């Protein structure tokens, strides 16, 4: 087994060198550095995460111009969709995650509208399989989940109007309360549903964390953990605002809020198994959920045929509301440089610091 692993690693090194030579020979002079930057960050080494200096170089290149940023994203996506190697695929996804978390706005903007013809991020790798070894087969499950999770993160970011965990959004953090207070009830409930969808996707993470001591999986789970805390904070902010408006919620809005709370509660056991929220944050979340359920008046909502319906004749209003709540898989295109839509510009909630 050791000889097989050594041979596989050697083949990976040869492939990396061949790819670098090909990029140097066939790429246009002004894009060679872009392709090489992507290749250096997404090597075939199975357990080593991208080197920080290579990630930093890639992010820096993406900050030079819109054309350069677009070419860089295209090169990264091309690398992702051409590879059949699990290690390369997960490093491509990890690099995309870094673009979302810490990339310059111009690079994030190009990621948000890729490909230019459709404005969707085609990360769907649901059919990805690397059957070279038992380890790569297991790692393939992580590739499939990670791609789906990043799609959901991007979709949620579209809905709430900013990249959820982006460090480039820090300047808008102090405006959060004022911004939310201006939202309609429907907007707040829509945001809650989308954030819960993201949490649900996190809960689908594979149980097999260790794949031959694969360090990159530790880095992936650490990144996702930070995203999770940010999502919890954003949910708390919106639920707190809704809690102040309980007397103003319509029946349809109450029903949809209850749906969101139920979905969140269904994630609780898995959430607590995956992540250890600090006690004050955990108590605040579930305490607020309980308070909202009590305040909405759960007695006015019952289950019939597996669906939440009201005891008053407003079922049709509730059904119509479903069309206004973003459902899992919906794609709402970013408005390119006008990324903030009608919710102003970028902001971030530093989840880890906020939970301490």
Do residues 172 and 103 share a domain?
no
The model scores a pTM over 0.95? no
Q: Give the residue with greater pLDDT, 264 vs 170.
A: 264
- Same domain for 227 and 336: yes
Q: What is the pLDDT of residue 153?
A: 94
Together in a domain, 2 and 129 = no
Contact predicate 76/92, CB 8 Å: yes
Does the pLDDT at position 349 exceed 70?
Answer: no
- 63 and 185 assigned to the same domain: no
pLDDT single digits (tens) 336-345: 333 333 332 2
Domain count, the chain: 2
Other CB atoms within 10 A of residue 230 CB = 24
Could you give the C-alpha distances from 97 to 148, 169, 219, 227, 306, in angstroms and in order? 12, 15, 11, 10, 37
Do residues 103 and 133 both lie within one domain?
A: no
Average pLDDT, the chain: 77
* pLDDT tops 70 at residue 240: yes
From 343, 313, 322, select the one nearest 189 (Cα to Cα). Answer: 322
Same domain, 82 and 156: no
Structure tokens at 156: 């949620």
Residue 38: pLDDT over 60:
yes
Note whether 205 and 220 are within 8 A (CB): no
pLDDT at 340 (0 to 100): 36
| CATH number, position 26 | 1.25.40.90
Asked which of 67-81, 115-129, 153-167, 258-272 is least confident by mean pLDDT, the reply is 115-129
80 touches 146 (CB < 8 A): no
Domain boundary among 69, 90, 121: 121
User: Which band of pLDDT confidence, cut at 50, 70 and 90, is reported for residue 279?
Assistant: confident
pLDDT at 128: 94
Q: Do 348 and 217 fall into the same domain?
A: yes
pLDDT number for residue 121: 55
- Spell out the residues 6+ positions from residue 90 whose beta carbon is closer than 8 angstroms to its own: 139, 142, 143, 146, 216, 220
Q: Which residue would you say has higher pLDDT here, 338 or 356?
A: 356
The whole-number average pLDDT for the span 200-218 is 81
- CA–CA separation, 237 vs 243, rounded Å? 10
28 class by beta-carbon count within 10 Å (0-12 exposed, 13-18 middle, 19+ buried): exposed
Domain ranges, residue 317? 123-356
Confidence (pLDDT) at 203: 95
Q: Which one is predicted more confidently, 91 or 29?
A: 91
Q: Are residues 133 and 102 in the same domain?
A: no
> What is the rounded CA–CA span in Å between residue 73 and residue 66?
11
Q: Using CA atoms, how far apart are residues 276 and 81, in angstroms rounded to an integer?
A: 34
CA distances to 20, 224, 264 from 271, in Å: 42, 12, 10
Using one digit for the tens of pLDDT, what is the confidence trace for 289-343?
Answer: 999 999 886 535 444 444 555 544 344 343 333 443 434 334 333 333 333 333 3
Mean pLDDT of 99-104: 93
Q: Provide CB contacts within 8 A for 222, sequence distance 6+.
A: none
Q: Which residues have CB under 8 Å from 98's CB, separation 6+?
A: 55, 59
Q: Which of 121, 142, 165 is the last residue of a domain?
A: 121
- The answer on 149 and 107 residing in a single domain is no
Residues 135 and 157 placed together within one structural domain of the fold:
yes
Q: Which residues, at least 6 apart from 30, have a Cβ–Cβ distance to it below 8 Å?
A: none
Last residue of a domain, one of 70, 86, 121: 121
Tell me the CA distances in angstroms from 290 to 28, 277, 293, 352, one per residue in order. 59, 18, 5, 24
Residues 61 and 138 reside in one and the same domain:
no
How many residues would you count in the chain? 356
For the chain, what is the largest distance between any 2 Cα atoms, rounded to a whole number of angstroms?
Answer: 71
* pLDDT for 31: 64
The continuous run of DSSP H or E covering 185 comes out as helix 185-202
Query: In terms of domains, do 65 and 152 share one?
Result: no
Q: Which two tokens stand for residue 335?
A: 């408005």
């Amino acid at each position: 087994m050791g000889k097989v692993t050594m041979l596989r690693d050697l083949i990976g090194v040869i492939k990396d060198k061949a790819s670098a030579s090909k990029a140097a020979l066939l790429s246009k002079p002004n894009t060679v550095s872009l392709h090489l930057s992507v290749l250096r960050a997404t090597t075939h080494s199975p357990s080593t995460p991208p080197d920080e200096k290579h990630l930093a170089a890639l992010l820096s290149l993406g900050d030079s111009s819109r054309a350069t940023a677009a070419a860089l994203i295209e090169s990264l996506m091309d690398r992702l969709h051409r590879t059949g190697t699990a290690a390369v695929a997960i490093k491509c996804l990890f690099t995309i995650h870094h673009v979302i978390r810490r990339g310059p706005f111009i690079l994030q903007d190009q990621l948000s509208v890729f490909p230019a013809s459709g404005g969707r991020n085609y990360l769907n790798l649901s059919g990805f399989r690397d059957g070279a070894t038992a380890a790569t087969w297991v790692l393939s499950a992580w590739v499939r989940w990670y791609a789906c999770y990043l799609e959901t993160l991007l979709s949620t970011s579209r809905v709430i109007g900013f990249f959820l965990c982006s460090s480039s959004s820090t300047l808008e953090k102090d405006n959060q309360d004022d911004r939310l207070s201006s939202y309609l009830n429907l907007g707040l409930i829509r945001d809650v549903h989308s954030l819960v969808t993201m949490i649900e996707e996190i809960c689908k993470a594979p149980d097999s964390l260790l794949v031959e001591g694969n360090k990159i999986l530790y880095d992936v789970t650490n990144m996702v953990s930070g995203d999770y805390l940010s999502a919890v904070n954003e949910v708390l902010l919106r639920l707190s605002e809704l809690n102040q408006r309980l007397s103003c919620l319509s029946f349809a809005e109450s029903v949809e809020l209850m749906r969101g709370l139920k979905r969140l509660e269904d994630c609780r056991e898995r959430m607590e198994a995956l992540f250890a929220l600090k006690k004050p944050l955990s108590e605040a979340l579930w305490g607020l959920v309980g308070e909202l359920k009590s305040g909405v008046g759960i007695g006015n909502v019952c289950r019939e045929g597996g669906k939440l319906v009201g005891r008053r004749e407003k079922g049709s209003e509730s059904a119509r509301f479903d069309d206004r709540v973003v459902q899992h898989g919906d794609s709402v295109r970013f408005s390119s440089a006008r990324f903030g839509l009608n919710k102003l510009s970028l902001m971030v909630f530093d989840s880890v610091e906020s939970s301490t």
